[in-house]
A = this chain, B = another copy of it.
Amino acid sequence: MAANQGERTRRRLSTEERREQLLAVGARLFSESPYDDVWIERVAEIAGVSRGLLYHYFPNKRDFFAAVVERESGRMLRMTAAVPGVPVREQLAAGLDTFLEYVEAHAHGFRAFHRADAAGDQAVRKVYQQALAAQERQILAALAADPEFGAGFEARPETTLAVRGWLAFITAVCLEWLRGSELSREQVRDLCARALLGVLGV
């Protein structure tokens, strides 16, 4: 934090380290302000680096944002992988718990990620949509594997739409929750679980 290394302790990092650092700074700034209000200059300043370097690592601002989004989507998907073989009803609460833990732990990244929904151009949206589609597939697969839901469920467009809507639901709820709601994680979890079961018509 803080505009570090004014001019003395300017360090030369490896490509990996520098890239990671820039993405972390980007995640923080994009989580706090809409796309337009995040200046490439400010990102560079906080990273203690020149504007030009950012353009050495990323072709342009759009792609930089897309990289931030992609980094976060990868992290999210890794954490929310379904456990195969376990019934959805049992898995749901635990899965939501890990998801909510992720949301709390990486609030910046989570917010930045969902800013890609309406803000970005084609490239950014594509990354975002693919991440959502992957999450959707995880859920649909888990449902299909469960004897309670599995009867030809995944094929119906209605189910796909329901799952997509549910993802929007938990996203909105989590963003509002992060905003400073006094609700406990358990309450949020139960709310989300109820929503899924309700949507699926149980």
Residues of A in contact with B (beta carbons under 8 Å apart)? 34-37, 114-121, 125, 157-158, 161-162, 164-173, 176-177, 181-183, 187-188, 191, 194-195, 197-199, 201
Contact = CB atoms under 8 A, between A and B. Distances in A.
A37 B120 CA distance: 9
A167 B172 contact: yes
Contacts of A119: 34-35, 118-119
Given A36-B121, A120-B34, A157-B182, A165 B195 contact: yes
B169 A157 contact: no
B157 A164 contact: no
B183 A194 contact: no
Nearest to A187: B158
17 contacts: A34-B119, A34-B120, A34-B121, A34-B125, A114-B118, A115-B118, A116-B118, A118-B119, A161-B176, A164-B173, A164-B176, A165-B169, A168-B172, A169-B169, A169-B172, A191-B199, A195-B199
A183 to B, nearest CB: 6
A66 B177 CA distance: 26
Contact of A191 (B35, B36, B158): B158
B191 A121 contact: no
Contacts of A165: 169-170, 172-173, 176, 191, 195
Given A34-B120, A35-B118, 19 more contacts: A36-B36, A36-B121, A118-B118, A157-B183, A158-B191, A161-B173, A161-B183, A162-B191, A164-B173, A165-B169, A165-B172, A165-B176, A165-B195, A168-B168, A168-B172, A168-B173, A194-B198, A195-B199, A197-B198
A121 B37 CA distance: 8
Nearest to A196: B198
Contacts of A187: 158
A131 to B, nearest CB: 15
Q: Which of A116, A166, A187 has the most CB of B within 10 A?
A: A166
